[in-house]
Amino acid sequence: MDMKREIVLASGSPRRRELLARFGVPFRVQTSRIDETRDLPDLPEKVVEELARRKGKAVAAGCRNALVIGADTVVVFDGTILGKPKDEQDAVSMLRMLSGKEHQVYSGLSLITVDQGKITREDVSHRMTRVWMRPLSDEKIEWYVNTKEPLDKAGAYGIQGLGACLVDRIEGCYFNVVGMSLSLLDEMLTETGYTLAQD
């Protein structure tokens, strides 16, 4: 990899920023303002890939030499995509729906390579993790929603926070549920000649 390329995280998510920072890789954050509702595919894996691609490309357009990481996450229950709750009542409804059942979390990643102000490569992929929620009482749901933690998270819970109390088990990548599969990101970076494993 040309070491002059900077890494840019095209996401305002504090969780994704924290995940990338754990590796001690220098990067900057630049958020994109894209329409997340227009002309989306039907399948959840295609939705997260498309939104990750749009976010990455929007930020890449303003870069000179960079590897731009775009990401998107959705929760899927019984074939329905659950985004972030609109308000506290919506969070309660989502958690009641997920209570005692399995759902899937899809996170899409895009890696856009920019050289001399031009996009020279686009890689897009996703991971899926299965999550089983514990049976949740109304009191437990009310307690959790009152913490405000679920209000900015897809599916109305954060597995990396107090939401861990609600989860029985998972199958697949934990970090995918947090919002960005680090193993997938490392695979994609490695294909460009870069790796998260630093000396």
Q: Which residues are catalytic?
A: 72
First to last CA, the chain: 15
**What whole-number distance in Å separates Cα of residue 78 and Cα of residue 60?**
35
Separation between Cα atoms, residue 16 and residue 181, nearest integer Å: 9
What three-state secondary structure class fits 34?
coil
Return d(Cα 41, Cα 178) in angstroms, integer: 23
- CA angle in degrees (0–180, nearest 5) for 34-86-108: 45
φ and ψ of 71, to 5 deg: -150, 150
* Neighbouring C-alpha atoms within 13 Å toward the C-beta of 100: 6
Give the CA count within 13 Å in the CB-facing half-sphere of 9.
20
Tokens of 84: 């972030």
Cα 192 from Cα 199, distance rounded (Å): 18
Angle CA(138)–CA(144)–CA(150) in degrees, nearest 5?
120
